[in-house]
């Protein structure tokens, strides 16, 4: 059910339930409001708390019980959507932008002042003000003082426009009150500056921290983390002032660390002993983990040479990793064969995208065997290759098929059961790689070759099926080009000619090609 439909349904239910008796007439209708008024106050408050902010405010207009509850409504999510301002247009340099920003500011200010006037506690405040570039800092300071400085605040989220005319500095005083700071469990800041100092209160219950486009230095982040020993998850995104990210050993409960696109970052030092999940996106930096015994889920996205970096260093950084996802935006260096192992790795996903320069990348897909040979416990392997990843002259179709070279397996993968390759093309070495997997994986259950460009598209149609009853139907994507479709047709020919006959009888084999809509000339 969509947001609009849900809002209409709630509005209709409220109207039917709380319309005064005089509007309907009859004894049955006159019994409705007295019955509701007899409900315990805590039940009324609980029902009210389940409603979105906009519907909660509407309910307060038609029922005295909800009116009393609204005055102590504790979960406030204030945005253009929840306040019903989505129909407004926001322009950067016109009077209508200033007028609409003023409308949003006035509505938010009225709601928060009303709660402050009644002395009510707010447990969650979500201020999403991204359409407005020109909110005066005095408003933001007052709203935060009204809500966050008081004990009882559990979740605090502030989302500002990233192109604010004047950068807003989040006031440390909001979190300097010990009683208020100790109640905060979630803190999320977007597009502002934050300069914590030693005066920051003890955030003893803070469990999740998200900083997105926040102007914060290494020193400031250090002060913040030193006062937040209950953190379980940290997300740091586009924070360009951080150079060396240090995660202290005092964060004994930290399980998840996500770091994305911090442009000046040079090193990550992790001393938290129980970190289990690490997601890192950006240029390769030195990552050190003091105690990697619990690190089992690693997700890396890098602009270049990521696979070589991971093969050379990740076995030491995360020796106990069980799930590994690698997305390389530009890989032109073959993966080295090394003696190091991933003894516990069961799920491996590798994604090699197209060249950022628009040229063909000289990458040998057979070098991926280095990862497979290093993973004796591997159960699931997924590979996505962009169609510009392999050499243009490396096509099986049209080549010397009589002298087709087979690449012999060097070792067995006794636990490998599922293999999926998206972006499968007519590359000779890619076909050799698939044959290698078939001949070296005696327990393989399922092999899927997807000839479309893969994750960037939606569902496809199964055309070749062997020992499988599944069938995927749908449209791939309106962006499928003629060259994509032509290459997919060549890939299907390669799969049928060189691979299908080698698939053991007990293996479910599926080749996916562009759907009928993609093959329709009128569509293109």
- 28 & 158 share domain: no
Domain for residue 105, yes or no? yes
Instruction: Quote the CA–CA distance of 516 and 497 in Å, as a whole number.
Output: 22
Residue 198, φ and ψ in degrees, nearest 5: -70, -15
Instruction: Quote the CA–CA distance of 234 and 225 in Å, as a whole number.
Output: 10
Instruction: Quote the CA–CA distance of 483 and 481 in Å, as a whole number.
Output: 5
Domain for residue 262, yes or no? no
Q: pTM of the entire structure?
A: 0.82
Instruction: Quote the CA–CA distance of 429 and 89 in Å, as a whole number.
Output: 53
Crossing angle of helices 95-117 and 137-147, rounded to 10°: 20
- 154 & 178 share domain: yes
pLDDT of residue 303: 82
Provide the number of structural domains found in the chain. Answer: 2
Name the E strands within 93-172.
124-129, 155-160, 169-170
The residues that bridge with 279 in the sheet, in sequence order, are 258, 299
- 162 & 198 share domain: yes
pLDDT of residue 356: 43
Q: Which of 11, 39, 73 is the last residue of a domain?
A: 73
Q: What would you report as the CA-atom Rg of the chain, rounded to the nearest whole angstrom? A: 29
CATH of the domain at 159: 3.80.10
Q: Which of 383, 268, 287 is nearest to 327 (CA)?
A: 383
Domain for residue 281, yes or no? no
Tell me the residue range of the domain where 143 lies: 75-231
Residue 248, φ and ψ in degrees, nearest 5: -75, 160
Domain for residue 433, yes or no? no
- 80 & 65 share domain: no
Instruction: Quote the CA–CA distance of 281 and 263 in Å, as a whole number.
Output: 10
- 222 & 82 share domain: yes
Instruction: Quote the CA–CA distance of 19 and 42 in Å, as a whole number.
Output: 22
Q: Which of 408, 342, 402, 353 is nearest to 378 (CA)?
A: 342
The pLDDT tens digits along the chain (524 residues) read 444 444 455 445 445 544 554 444 444 444 445 455 566 766 666 665 666 666 665 665 556 655 555 555 677 888 887 777 765 554 444 444 444 577 888 888 888 887 776 666 788 899 999 888 888 899 999 999 887 777 788 999 999 998 888 999 999 988 988 888 999 999 999 999 999 999 999 999 999 999 999 999 999 999 999 999 999 999 999 999 999 999 999 999 999 999 999 999 999 999 999 999 999 999 989 999 999 999 999 999 998 789 989 999 999 999 999 999 999 887 767 788 888 999 999 999 999 875 444 444 567 888 899 999 999 999 999 999 876 666 555 666 655 444 445 555 567 899 999 999 998 988 888 999 999 999 999 999 999 999 987 554 444 444 433 333 333 434 555 566 788 888 888 999 999 999 999 999 999 999 998 876 665 555 55
- 197 & 152 share domain: yes
- 91 & 61 share domain: no
Distances from the Cα of 114 to the Cαs of 111, 130, 146, 364, in angstroms? 5, 23, 10, 65
- 69 & 100 share domain: no
pLDDT of residue 60: 57
Residue 126, φ and ψ in degrees, nearest 5: -120, 100
Determine the Cα angle at 164 with ends 163 and 168, to 5°.
130
Domain for residue 497, yes or no? no
Phi-psi region of 481 (alpha: psi -120 to 50; beta: other; left: phi over 0): beta
Domain for residue 338, yes or no? no
Domain for residue 146, yes or no? yes
Q: Which of 231, 247, 281 is the last residue of a domain?
A: 231
Q: Which of 205, 231, 257 is the last residue of a domain?
A: 231
Classify 296 as helix, strand or coil.
coil
pLDDT of residue 365: 87
pLDDT of residue 421: 96
Residue 349 CB burial class (10 angstroms; 0-12, 13-18, ≥19): middle
- 85 & 68 share domain: no
- 86 & 120 share domain: yes
The two tokens of residue 301 are 């996205």
**Is the separation of the CB atoms in 165 and 191 below 8 Å?**
no
- 226 & 124 share domain: yes
Strands 75-78, 169-170: pairing is unpaired
Domain for residue 112, yes or no? yes
- 57 & 192 share domain: no
């Amino acid at each position: 059910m969509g947001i609009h439909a849900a809002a209409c349904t709630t509005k209709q239910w409220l109207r039917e339930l709380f319309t005064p008796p005089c509007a309907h007439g009859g004894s049955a209708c006159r019994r409705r409001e007295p019955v509701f008024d007899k409900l315990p106050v805590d039940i009324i408050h609980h029902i009210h708390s389940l409603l979105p902010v906009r519907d909660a405010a509407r309910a307060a207009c038609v029922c005295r019980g909800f009116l009393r509850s609204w005055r102590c409504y504790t979960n406030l999510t204030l945005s253009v959507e929840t306040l019903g301002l989505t129909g407004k247009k926001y322009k950067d340099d016109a009077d209508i932008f200033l007028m609409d920003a003023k409308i949003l500011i006035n509505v938010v200010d009225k709601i928060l002042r009303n709660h402050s006037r009644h002395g009510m506690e707010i447990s969650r405040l979500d201020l999403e003000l991204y359409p407005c570039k020109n909110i005066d800092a005095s408003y933001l300071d007052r709203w935060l003082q009204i809500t966050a400085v008081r004990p009882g605040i559990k979740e605090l989220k502030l989302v500002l426009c990233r192109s604010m005319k004047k950068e807003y500095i989040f006031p440390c005083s909001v979190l300097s009150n010990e009683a208020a700071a100790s109640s905060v469990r979630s803190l999320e800041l977007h597009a502002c500056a934050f300069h914590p100092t030693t005066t920051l209160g003890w955030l003893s219950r803070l469990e999740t921290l998200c900083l997105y486009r926040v102007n914060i230095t290494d020193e400031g982040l250090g002060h913040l983390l030193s006062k937040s020993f209950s953190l379980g998850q940290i997300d740091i995104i586009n924070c360009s002032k951080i150079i060396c990210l240090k995660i202290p050993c005092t964060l004994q409960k930290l399980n998840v660390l996500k770091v994305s696109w911090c442009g000046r970052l040079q090193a990550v030092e992790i001393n938290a002993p129980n970190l289990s999940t690490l997601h890192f996106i950006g240029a390769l930096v030195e990552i050190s983990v003091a105690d990697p015994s619990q690190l089992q889920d690693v997700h890396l996205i890098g602009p270049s040479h990521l696979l070589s970096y991971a093969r050379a260093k990740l076995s030491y950084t995360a020796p106990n990793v069980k799930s590994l996802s690698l997305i390389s935006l530009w890989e032109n260096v073959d993966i080295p064969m090394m003696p190091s192992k991933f003894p516990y790795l069961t799920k491996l996903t590798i994604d090699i995208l197209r060249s950022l320069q628009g040229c063909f990348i000289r990458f040998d897909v057979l070098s991926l065997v280095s990862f497979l040979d290093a993973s004796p416990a591997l159960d699931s392997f997924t590979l996505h290759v962009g169609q510009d990843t392999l050499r243009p002259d490396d096509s099986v179709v049209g080549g010397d098929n009589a002298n087709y070279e087979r690449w012999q397996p060097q070792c067995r993968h006794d636990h490998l059961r599922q293999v999926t390759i998206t972006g499968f093309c007519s590359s000779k070495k890619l076909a050799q790689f698939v044959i290698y997997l078939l001949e070296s994986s005696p327990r393989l259950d399922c092999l899927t070759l997807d000839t479309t460009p893969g994750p960037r598209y939606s569902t496809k149609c199964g055309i070749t099926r062997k020992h499988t009853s599944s069938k995927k139907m749908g449209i791939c994507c309106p962006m499928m080009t003629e060259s994509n479709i032509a290459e997919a047709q060549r890939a299907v020919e390669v799969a049928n000619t060189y691979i299908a006959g080698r698939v053991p009888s007990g293996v479910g084999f599926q080749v996916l090609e562009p759907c009928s809509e993609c093959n329709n000339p009128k569509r293109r």
